């Protein structure tokens, strides 16, 4: 065996042991957590029944009797009380998307990550994990002036800014200046320092991630500044995929009772898809992991052919420096450690065009009352395409990452108005959106040609 092959095999073996050990610890924690959740569910149900009896009671004397009994029947159950805003992170609901499930004959379930309580996206899990890891390593001291620096398109920054406030740190966020303005407004309202910079390739020192790294080092080196600067480094840090390996993945496993055929997700840093896959493939080796990729991203080809390449690079038609799409948060043109750590576990990739994402976002409002952002819409298009490939009777899990409120000025501003019943889109219209100039008789948004 060649040396490199031996090193690879040894590496894979060690990783296997580490993952199994982490899984066993996590499994015990998750079981305890599950028992706690079941107990509090039972208590909640009992409370609900009592209130229901109250609301249905027509006999005033009986109502008075129930009220008099209440103090004796309510146990001292405080398990519903969350420990600060950090306590509202994780354990997000799994929602059946009824319209897509009915239309495809598959059960399409979505983890409502926009209901994470601090920054309202899956990045809450990552930001908390990064901060807790740094605290454990003694790298952060509350109220000392310690400041977390990060390069982010918005979501991670918002989560970091909120949790920093709760933990006594400052946040300094560098982001590209073509992201939806509501994201930087929100960061400012959370008291973060925001630097919006011109989009640039990663080789440029002023690229937003590089700039955040530099700013952190400048802070630490400056004797005039209190505390130190910590670069959060979401693209490379292990704390990112681990948050999904110990949180999102196990939650999906338990919420589905271990019955799922596929998991579909877009990737920005890759932390979500890697962390979830590393957990799910351990417990369900047959589960299919599918990447949902927007236009301009090289990840589709990285998964399919092992090379990072997008046709737009060759054509020289990219509108932006990073990724040419209206979609924010997913799609990338460079190799990151968080994507690579789980890449071998990804079975397939599905391209989604901007037109399809916009049409799906509208479909979800019109049919389900679900108002989400662009990456969630991409996930739902890919989940629907996969359902068509697999055929009826399968169960597919995906993510709803953030609310449409984060995307009003860009993605939603360019999406057709929510319409009436006459011009309703069919699912076929959405799946063929890249092949047609119009949907339901309406001209589509101004996105470029598809790269499907």
Ligand X SMILES: Cc1ncc(COP(=O)(O)O)c(C=O)c1O
Which residues lie near ligand X (CB under 6 A)? 121, 123, 153, 155-156, 266-272, 329-330, 373, 375, 401-402
Q: How many CB atoms lie within 10 A of CB 309?
A: 13
DSSP category for residue 348 = E
Smallest gap from Cβ 344 to ligand X, in A, equals: 16
Smallest gap from Cβ 192 to ligand X, in A, equals: 16
Q: How many CB atoms lie within 10 A of CB 45?
A: 10
Q: Which residues contact 8 (CB under 8 A, 6 or more apart)?
A: none
The pairing of beta strand 288-293 with beta strand 348-351 = parallel
Smallest gap from Cβ 196 to ligand X, in A, equals: 16
Give the residue closest to ligand X by C-beta.
329
Smallest gap from Cβ 438 to ligand X, in A, equals: 28
Query: In terms of CB distance, is 256 or 272 closer to ligand X?
Result: 272
Smallest gap from Cβ 396 to ligand X, in A, equals: 17
Could you tell me if 347 and 288 are in contact, meaning their C-beta atoms sit under 8 angstroms apart? yes
Query: In terms of CB distance, is 176 or 270 closer to ligand X?
Result: 270
Query: In terms of CB distance, is 270 or 445 closer to ligand X?
Result: 270
Query: In terms of CB distance, is 114 or 439 closer to ligand X?
Result: 114
Could you give the strand order of the β-sheet that contains 288-293, starting from the edge strand earlier in sequence?
94-96, 107-112, 395-400, 262-265, 288-293, 348-351
DSSP category for residue 415 = S
Query: In terms of CB distance, is 147 or 248 closer to ligand X?
Result: 248
Query: In terms of CB distance, is 323 or 396 closer to ligand X?
Result: 323
Angle at 55 between CA 54 and CA 57, to 5 degrees: 65
Could you tell me if 314 and 327 are in contact, meaning their C-beta atoms sit under 8 angstroms apart? no
Could you tell me if 250 and 32 are in contact, meaning their C-beta atoms sit under 8 angstroms apart? no
Smallest gap from Cβ 277 to ligand X, in A, equals: 11
Smallest gap from Cβ 362 to ligand X, in A, equals: 18
Query: In terms of CB distance, is 90 or 329 closer to ligand X?
Result: 329
Residue 337 token pair: 């450690």
Residue 225 token pair: 């500044």
Beta strand ranges found along 279-416 (DSSP E): 288-293, 348-351, 395-400
Torsion-angle region of 226 (φ positive above 0: left; ψ -120 to 50: alpha; else: beta)? beta
Euclidean distance between CA atoms 310 and 325, whole angstroms: 12
Query: In terms of CB distance, is 295 or 329 closer to ligand X?
Result: 329
Smallest gap from Cβ 139 to ligand X, in A, equals: 22
Query: In terms of CB distance, is 30 or 121 closer to ligand X?
Result: 121
Phi and psi, residue 174, nearest 5°:
-105, 130
Smallest gap from Cβ 371 to ligand X, in A, equals: 14
**Residue 195 in 3-state DSSP?**
strand
Euclidean distance between CA atoms 447 and 315, whole angstroms: 16
């Amino acid at each position: 065996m060649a040396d490199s092959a031996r090193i690879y095999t040894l590496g894979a073996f060690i990783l296997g042991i580490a993952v199994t050990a982490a899984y066993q610890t996590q499994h015990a924690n998750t079981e305890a957590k599950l028992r706690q959740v079941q107990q509090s569910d039972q208590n909640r149900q009992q409370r609900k029944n009592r209130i229901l009896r109250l609301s249905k009671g027509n006999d005033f004397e009986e109502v008075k009797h129930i009220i008099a009994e209440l103090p004796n029947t309510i146990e001292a159950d405080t398990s519903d009380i969350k420990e600060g805003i950090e306590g509202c992170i994780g354990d997000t609901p799994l929602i059946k998307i009824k319209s897509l499930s009915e239309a495809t004959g598959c059960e399409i379930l979505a983890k409502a990550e926009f209901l994470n309580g601090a920054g309202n996206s899956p990045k809450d899990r990552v930001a908390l994990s990064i901060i807790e890891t740094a605290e454990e390593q003694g790298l952060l001291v509350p109220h000392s002036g310690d400041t977390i620096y990060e390069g982010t398109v918005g979501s991670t920054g918002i989560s970091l800014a909120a949790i920093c406030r709760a933990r006594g740190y400052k946040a300094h966020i560098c982001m590209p200046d073509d992201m939806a303005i509501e994201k930087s407004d929100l960061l400012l309202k959370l008291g973060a320092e925001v630097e919006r910079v011109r989009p640039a390739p990663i080789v440029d020192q002023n690229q937003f991630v590089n700039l955040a790294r530099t700013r952190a080092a400048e802070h630490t080196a400056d004797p005039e500044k209190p505390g130190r600067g910590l670069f959060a480094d979401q693209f490379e840090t292990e704390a990112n995929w681990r948050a999904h390996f110990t949180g999102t993945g196990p939650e999906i496993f338990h919420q589905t009772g271990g019955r799922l055929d596929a998991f579909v997700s877009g990737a920005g840093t890759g932390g979500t898809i890697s962390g979830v896959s590393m957990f799910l493939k351990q417990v369900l080796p047959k589960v299919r992991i599918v990447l949902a990729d927007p236009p301009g991203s090289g990840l589709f080809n990285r998964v399919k052919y092992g090379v990072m390449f997008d046709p737009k690079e060759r054509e020289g038609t990219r509108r932006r420096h990073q990724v040419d799409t209206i979609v924010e948060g997913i799609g990338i043109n460079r190799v990151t450690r968080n994507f690579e750590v789980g890449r071998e576990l990804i079975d397939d990739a599905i391209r989604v065009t901007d037109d399809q994402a916009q049409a799906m976002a509208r479909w979800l409002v019109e049919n389900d009352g679900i108002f989400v952002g662009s990456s969630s819409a991409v996930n739902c298009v890919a989940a629907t395409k996969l359902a068509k490939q697999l055929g009826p009777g399968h169960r597919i899990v995906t993510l709803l990452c953030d609310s449409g409120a984060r995307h009003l000025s860009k993605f939603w501003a360019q999406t057709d108005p929510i319409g009436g019943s006459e011009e309703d889109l069919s699912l076929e219209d959405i799946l063929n959106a890249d092949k047609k100039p119009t949907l339901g008789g309406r001209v589509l948004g101004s996105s470029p040609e598809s790269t499907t």
